[in-house]
């Protein structure tokens, strides 16, 4: 069991018979460790039990049932979903049942060979320090598994009351309810769950908001862990959207929505000037926040949360509206952690959280990214803009005109030599940081592993108020920023690039986007060859 380690998204591995791979034995050991940790707390803390959810992947139901059997075998109530359900529903159900923890069997958008085990705590967010480390320690000490049969009375199937409560919570977040009610049917939405769990909630939620004209992509509407239409069911990739784009064009839809298999991420595409335009997570997050600020007019104690690798535009927009923006490490669990903290302290009112990889949350019903609310909010924005004879592109250009043009890209490096090899490369860069990149001076470095930021102009060092993480960032004199981060679950290293230009510098917003996108791609390619040869 030596390979078990909770990364940014819990445990995620290829299914197979080996120790540390996803199989019945791994599920049993991890769950026994979780049960042992839960029972270190007073009994009244865990009387609400543990919520168990799963997606459409191969073995997901089997793994979920095995999780329930181990928990029941340890005298802990297991609230098991009747069938597959979205990740954010698991987060909601934890607080609904006042459970101490939750488990979601999913590998998000990985290929069909993978499965995973996400652990949540009583606040509805994924486990963070110290719970993640303590659970891992307990797993390593397991010598005996306690199992109950599936018929054990401590295993309870989650009924419709909890599911209806989740949908009701989503429904309460409508902003322009009269607009949705009266004109929602005029918006033609194409939706694909990518053969995943989104089909169980998103169409219902859209209809409740008033969007009844929803067409599902036929080949991708039924749950199927083989993902027969795409080898990599990630809505960030063009390949996963091919069938949805086909339907968007053929049916002349207003909006294409695509969720990943566990339905926590959402992709949005439209037809603009007869071409399909897919929005990045940074673009979509900026459009969502712009709409929330303008329509809700939040008070000055409102706060937004984004990640250190996401667009700086979120921070700039929040500040102008009188709010406070917090940056956290990669992983939506850190956003969920902030929501829980603010609810206890009452200092800030959470408005919106986002990460660049298509993760969004509006509302506090869940403490994880939620494709259901993201789909409903995107539909309302599209309808609002349609009534103004505008599109998402028009609104994005207006935002760029107001705040400047912020463009981003990333490069993923893989190695057959494994994650340790890539981490060693990153360590070498840490020991020998560049003083210039692309002909521009590096003015500041941020090392989240040592929790230190160094201003190279003043030679002053300050502490970073974030948990320790293996991330290295370089800020350049032209306000661009580049970050390097190894994956928490795969043998990959990501380079994130952020670049900025004043809208007045370019003949048009469109021209500025083209030039900045070209520049950042060249910069990332140069950075790869410069640092990893």
| 3-class SS of residue 227 | coil
* Residue whose entry in the numeric block shows the structure tokens 């840490």: 430
The secondary structure element, H or E, covering residue 500 is: strand 492-501
Helix axes 160-171, 202-209, angle to 10 degrees: 50
* Distance of alpha carbon 249 from alpha carbon 2, whole angstroms: 49
- The two tokens of residue 38 are 């839960």
Burial class (CB in 10 A: 0-12, 13-18, 19+), 346: exposed
Residue ranges of the alpha helices (H) in 52-114? 60-73, 87-96
* Residue whose entry in the numeric block shows the structure tokens 């397991």: 142
| 8 A C-beta contact, residue 78 and residue 107 | no
Of 111, 133, 374, 122, residue with least CA distance to 255: 374
Of 167, 403, 388, 406, residue with least CA distance to 281: 406
Strand pairing report for 492-501 and 405-414: antiparallel
- End-to-end Cα separation, the chain, in angstroms: 35
Q: What is the DSSP string of 329-386?
A: -SSHHHHHHHHHHHHHH-S-EEEEEEETTTEEEESSS-SS--HHHHHHHHHHHHHHHH
* Distance of alpha carbon 351 from alpha carbon 301, whole angstroms: 10
* Distance of alpha carbon 49 from alpha carbon 79, whole angstroms: 7
Q: How far is CA 180 from CA 351, 363, 383, in A?
A: 21, 18, 8
CB-side exposure of 92: number of CA atoms within 13 Å?
28
Q: How far from the centroid of its chain's Cα atoms is residue 371's Cα? A: 9
List, by residue number, the catalytic residues.
108
Supply the DSSP symbol for 15.
B
């Amino acid at each position: 069991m030596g390979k078990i380690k909770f990364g940014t998204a819990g445990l995620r591995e290829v299914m197979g018979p080996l120790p540390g791979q996803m199989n019945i034995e791994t599920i049993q050991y991890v769950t026994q460790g979780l049960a042992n940790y839960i029972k270190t707390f007073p009994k009244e803390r865990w009387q609400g039990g543990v919520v168990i959810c799963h997606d459409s992947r191969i073995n997901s139901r089997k793994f979920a049932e095995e999780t329930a059997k181990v928990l029941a075998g340890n005298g802990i109530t297991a609230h098991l979903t009747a069938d597959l359900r979205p990740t954010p529903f698991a987060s909601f159900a934890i607080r609904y049942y006042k459970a101490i923890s939750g488990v979601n069997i999913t590998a998000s958008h990985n290929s069909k060979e993978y499965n995973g085990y996400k652990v949540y705590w009583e606040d509805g967010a994924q486990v963070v320090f110290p719970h993640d480390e303590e659970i891992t320690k307990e797993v390593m000490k397991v010598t005996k598994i306690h199992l109950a049969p599936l018929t054990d009375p401590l295993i309870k199937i989650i009924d419709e009351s909890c599911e209806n409560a989740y949908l009701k919570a989503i429904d309460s977040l409508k902003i322009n309810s009269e607009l949705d009610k009266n004109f929602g049917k005029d918006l033609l939405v194409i939706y694909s769950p990518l053969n995943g769990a989104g089909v169980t909630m998103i169409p219902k939620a859209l209809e409740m908001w008033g969007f009844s004209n929803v067409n599902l992509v036929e080949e991708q509407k039924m749950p199927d862990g083989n993902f027969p239409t795409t080898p990599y069911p990630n809505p960030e990739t063009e390949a996963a959207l091919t069938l949805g784009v086909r339907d968007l064009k053929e049916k002349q839809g207003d909006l294409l929505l695509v969720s990943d298999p566990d339905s926590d991420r959402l992709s949005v595409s439209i037809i603009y000037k007869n071409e399909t335009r897919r929005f990045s997570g940074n673009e979509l997050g900026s459009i969502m926040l712009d709409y929330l600020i303008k329509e809700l007019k939040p008070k000055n104690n409102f706060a937004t949360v984004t990640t250190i690798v996401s667009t700086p535009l979120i921070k700039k927009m929040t500040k102008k509206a009188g709010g406070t923006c917090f940056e956290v490490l990669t992983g939506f669990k850190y956003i969920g952690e902030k929501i829980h903290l603010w609810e206890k302290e009452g200092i800030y009112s959470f408005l919106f959280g986002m990460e660049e990889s298509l993760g969004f949350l509006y509302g506090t019903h869940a403490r994880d990214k939620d494709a259901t609310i993201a789909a409903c909010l995107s539909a309302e924005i599209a309808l609002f803009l349609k009534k103004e004879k505008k599109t998402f592109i028009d609104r994005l250009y207006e935002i760029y005109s107001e705040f400047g043009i912020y463009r981003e890209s990333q490069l993923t490096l893989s190695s057959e030599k494994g994650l340790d090899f890539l981490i060693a490369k990153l360590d070498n860069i840490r020991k020998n940081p560049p003083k210039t990149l692309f002909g521009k001076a590096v003015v500041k470095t941020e090392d989240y592993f040592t929790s230190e930021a160094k201003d190279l102009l003043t030679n002053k060092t300050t502490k970073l108020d974030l948990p320790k993480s293996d991330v290295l960032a370089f800020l350049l004199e032209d306000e661009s920023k580049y970050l390097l981060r190894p994956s928490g679950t795969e043998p990959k290293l990501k380079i994130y690039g952020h670049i900025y230009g004043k809208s007045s510098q370019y003949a048009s917003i469109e021209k500025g986007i083209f030039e900045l996108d070209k520049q950042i791609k060249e910069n990332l390619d140069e950075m790869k060859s410069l640092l990893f040869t």
